[in-house]
Amino acid sequence: MSVASITTTSRKTETSEIFDVLGPHIQFLTALSDIDDSYCVIRSTFPAGVIVPIHGHGDRETFYILDGALQALWEDRWVTLVGGDVFDVPGNTKHAFRNVSGASVPLLFVTTMRMGRFFRDIGRPAATVQPGPPRPEDLGRFFETAQRYGYWLGGPADNAAVGLSFG
C-alpha cells in the first residue's frame, strides 16, 4: 500500500482563527487551497438566535451536530437536528438554518474548498465583530460575493414562505 500524500494542519496556522460569517462562527480545520474538488473541514458554532436565510449553491455540504439542537430547512419543511445527527445537503438544494434553542450549537461540516474560500471572503475575525445585526457594509459585501460565486440567495418572499422573517 502506498500513500500519495498526507497533510497535517497545525493548530498554530491560519486555521486557528475564528471568523464570523454574519452570525455563525467558523474555524477552518483544513488549510484552504485553490483546488476546487478538494474538501474543506470546518468547525462552526451557531449562537442562540442565529438565522441563516434560505439559499442554494452547487457545493455539497455535510453537517454533523456535536451538541444541542439546530433547525434546518430540508426542501419545504423544518427538521430539528440534535447532537449526533448528520444533515447532508446535495449541491443546488435550497436550505436554511435557525437556532431557536436558546443555546449555542457546535457542529462540524465538510464542504468544497470553493465554499471554504467563500466563507473566508465574507468572514470577519470574530474578535472584531460587535454584537448585533450585521452592518450594511458587511451585508453589501456578502451579497456581492455571493453573486460573484453564483450562489442563489432567497429574497424576503422566499424566506417568509418558509417561516423566516427579519425585523
CA pair distance 162, 154, nearest whole angstrom: 10
Q: What is the pLDDT of residue 3?
A: 38
At 8-58, the pLDDT tens digits run 444 444 457 999 999 999 999 999 999 887 999 999 999 999 999 999 999
**pLDDT value at 78 more than 50:** yes
Indicate the pTM of the whole model.
Answer: 0.88
- Helix/strand/coil for 105: strand
**pLDDT value at 4 more than 50:** no
Q: Which long-range contacts (CB under 8 A, 24 or more apart) does 78-82 make?
A: 78/162, 78/163
Domains and CATH numbers, the chain: 15-161 (2.60.120.10)
Q: What is the pLDDT of residue 19?
A: 96
Strands (E), the chain: 18-20, 25-28, 39-46, 51-56, 61-65, 69-74, 77-82, 86-89, 95-98, 105-112, 124-125, 152-153
